[in-house]
Structure 1
């Protein structure tokens, strides 16, 4: 039997939740350490490892979704949102890790809430970009996309 992690445990959430629809679950600065505008990390500070992971994820999805040349422009918009979301989550995770030894239980909860908010914001940003791509897909591509999302979410839920 696997125990479910609590917000007080300082281990990263599954990477899949971070990236795609991603993906996006991780960890943040305590709210008391920064103002709301300071907690909006820039995607450009994404670590090399996170950059490599998201590029691998993007490339894999491109292949699995069978993106056509005609859909490439729409795909690039989806990919950019995914990169931006991954950069935000990576920055939040790094900040949380750097503050882990100095956080009170309340700081930990606030930090966890910031992560959850950033994840939800990432999904809200990704949805319209993906919707435009999905609308351009053939019926076969749509069925494939539906299966990919159902399968990936199912596996992510089992890991979490």
Structure 2
């Protein structure tokens, strides 16, 4: 007797969907990490620039240098703001993919649990059939000894 799971094709499809969701989640995670790292570097650059400007202010700056530094700082803040939006968007996409992955994983686990129970019933049926055969053999042996 060979065990054949009746939902094997469905389980295979669900596992494929789960693997697809996992790859999409990993891709979204990578994009989020890249965006967050870019934001971190920009914030670090802004911090360094502010420290540099403070140092220069103590030593003395021309009005032209102050304007130039302020313009550079304004542009940097615009880039940071844009990058923050990118990080928020990337985090949203990552969380969305994580939810989809969790849903797919739950579906796969349901079908695997059904398979485990079905396989358990299959084993019980085999055991029962073996016991029946053993009983029949015992009865035949007993009857043949009496004759």
- TM beyond 0.5: no
Quickly name the TM-score band, shorter chain normalised: 0.3 to 0.5
Q: Which structure exhibits the higher relative contact order, with contacts defined as CA atoms closer than 8 Å and separated by 6 or more residues?
A: 2
If each structure's helix is expressed as a fraction of its own residues, which one has the higher value?
2
Scaled by the length of structure 2, the TM-score of the pair is 0.37
